[in-house]
Amino acid sequence: MRSELKISFEEDRLVVPDRPVIPYIEGDGIGTDIWRASARVIDHAVASCWQGDRQITWKEVLAGEKAFNQTGQWLPQETIDAFQEYRVGIKGPLTTPVGEGIRSLNVALRHRLDLYACVRPVRYFTGVPSPVKEPQKVDMVVFRENTEDVYAGLELESGKDETKRLMDHLSSEYGWHIRPDSGIGIKPISKSGSDRLIKSAIEYAIAHQRRSVTLVHKGNIQKFTEGAFRKWGYQLAKEAYPDRTVTWEELDGAALPEDKILIKDTIADIFFQQALTRPGDFEVIATMNLNGDYISDALAAQVGGVGMAPGANINYEKGYALFEATHGTAPKYAGLDKVNPSSLILSGAMMLDHMGWSEAARRIESGLEKAFISKRVTYDLARLMDCAEEVSCSAFAELVCGYMA
Ligand code: NAD
């Protein structure tokens, strides 16, 4: 009977039972507060849509400080096993343990489950304070490659013997002469890694009726890594989606047909300008790890900042998906019931969409928007709004539930 409660992955599709078990990591610091608020909102949305016919069975799994205190391990194997077994999970922020031999629990989780696509939707909710004039024009989804680039690269420190040995090799084999006091960084970008990420972005655009996929890169400078990402992106679109995609060159001035997605590319520095001046030109973004890191946070700033941005790390080939708050543990606010739970709530809405329970996801978004418009919000938004009333994290969640009906 138990297996009926598990989300499974059959013929490249998630099969979601009416009462799926979903593992969650509460998270460290403010994690307890925002998890409690988010679970309340997610459960309320599901109950209000299906009156008990559908319901999530939450299963707590441990990571971070709570795991360390209870088991002596920061990331117990049972936690990885649970995400593998149940496929879809959600997590709050985790402390990065200093000097414990594990660089980051988030990186470890992404690596162990090969969650190669970091997906960050960035959209504006009416009422949220924004530093730009027309934040409502921002409606993008960033697909950031999660497993390569400088994060999987090699860095050698200036002055070390190993650095000198590599320098000698580069000098004798490649005629590459650099200042002897240099540090050196090497990054990998592969065709297979780029292809699977760009494929996810194109398929997302097709499934969500988006009009364009933009490949963002620094291929003008880094031709065989970032330039190759661009080249492989166009190749993939042409070979795997000939009937669904088109390029500027192929359009040759004609209007974009209804049934086609425009595949285009932009150099990263220009992208940052245009995302501010012409945000309406971009819908789905596919990019490498480091560019994606910068881009996700810069775009989030346009629509309300760190407390608002949802995210997911997904392996579309195996059906694993881990939804998460994108901010950290904000230790100084831990346990004060004060911070904004929207990032984790919206990640929960993304999770419901991913499960095909989109009706509940739309209810959450609508409840949140009405709460923002009411100007009864957590401290981070209240201090940027005129005549706003500051409410606690848990009170904000109750407001969202109240507005959902
Ligand atoms: P942080 O995001 O925790 O906090 C920075 C500041 O942002 C906070 O002081 C607060 O003013 C604000 N903030 C963050 N979340 C907020 C929310 N929900 N509502 C309102 N304001 C919010 O970043 P940090 O201080 O650099 O990192 C603290 C810890 O979190 C570190 O251990 C770090 O490694 C970890 N971290 C974890 C994740 C993750 O788990 N995904 C991400 C980033 C940082």
- As given in the structure block, the two tokens for residue 139 are 């409606």
pLDDT over threshold 50, residue 2: no
> For the residues 206-211, what does the mean pLDDT come to?
95
- Cα–Cα dist 230/239, whole Å: 14
> For the residues 237-259, what does the mean pLDDT come to?
95
**Amino acid identity, residue 201?**
A
3-state secondary structure (DSSP) of residue 241: coil
pLDDT over threshold 90, residue 361: yes
pLDDT tens-digit readout, 137-188: 999 999 999 999 998 889 999 999 999 999 999 999 999 989 999 999 999 9
> For the residues 205-217, what does the mean pLDDT come to?
96
Q: Which of 199, 218, 231, 264 is catalytic?
A: 218
- Ligand 1 centroid distance, CA of 64 (Å): 14
Q: Which of 18, 160, 269, 332 is catalytic?
A: 269
231 assigned to active site: no
116 assigned to active site: no
pLDDT tens-digit readout, 31-42: 999 999 999 999
- Going by alpha carbons, the residue nearest to atom 8 of ligand 1 is 330
Q: Which of 293, 337, 353, 380 is catalytic?
A: 293
294 assigned to active site: no
Number of helices (H), then strands (E), in the chain: 14, 17
Task: Give the chain's mean pLDDT.
Answer: 94
Ligand 1 nearest atom to the CA of residue 328, by list position:
3
Q: For the chain, report the end-to-end CA distance as a whole number of angstroms.
A: 33
pLDDT tens-digit readout, 296-319: 999 999 998 878 889 999 999 999
Q: What's the pLDDT at 102?
A: 64
- Ligand 1 centroid distance, CA of 354 (Å): 25
Q: Which residues of 235-269 are buried (b: 16+ CB within 10 A; e: fewer)?
A: ebbeeebeeebbeeeeeeeeeeeeebbbbbbbebe
pLDDT tens-digit readout, 80-123: 999 999 999 999 999 887 766 566 788 888 888 999 999 999 99
Residue from 90, 103, 33 nearest 56 by CA = 90
pLDDT over threshold 50, residue 227: yes
Ligand 1 nearest atom to the CA of residue 91, by list position:
40
- Cα–Cα dist 46/361, whole Å: 9
Pocket lining: 198 vs ligand 1, CB cutoff 6 Å: no
Q: What's the pLDDT at 348?
A: 98
Q: What's the pLDDT at 1?
A: 43
- Ligand 1 centroid distance, CA of 20 (Å): 30
Q: Which residues of 116-129 are buried (b: 16+ CB within 10 A; e: fewer)?
A: bbbbbbbbbbebbb
Pocket lining: 94 vs ligand 1, CB cutoff 6 Å: yes
pLDDT over threshold 90, residue 290: yes
Q: What's the pLDDT at 101?
A: 59
Q: Which helix (H) or strand (E) holds 38?
A: helix 31-50
Ligand 1 nearest atom to the CA of residue 343, by list position:
18
pTM confidence score: 0.93
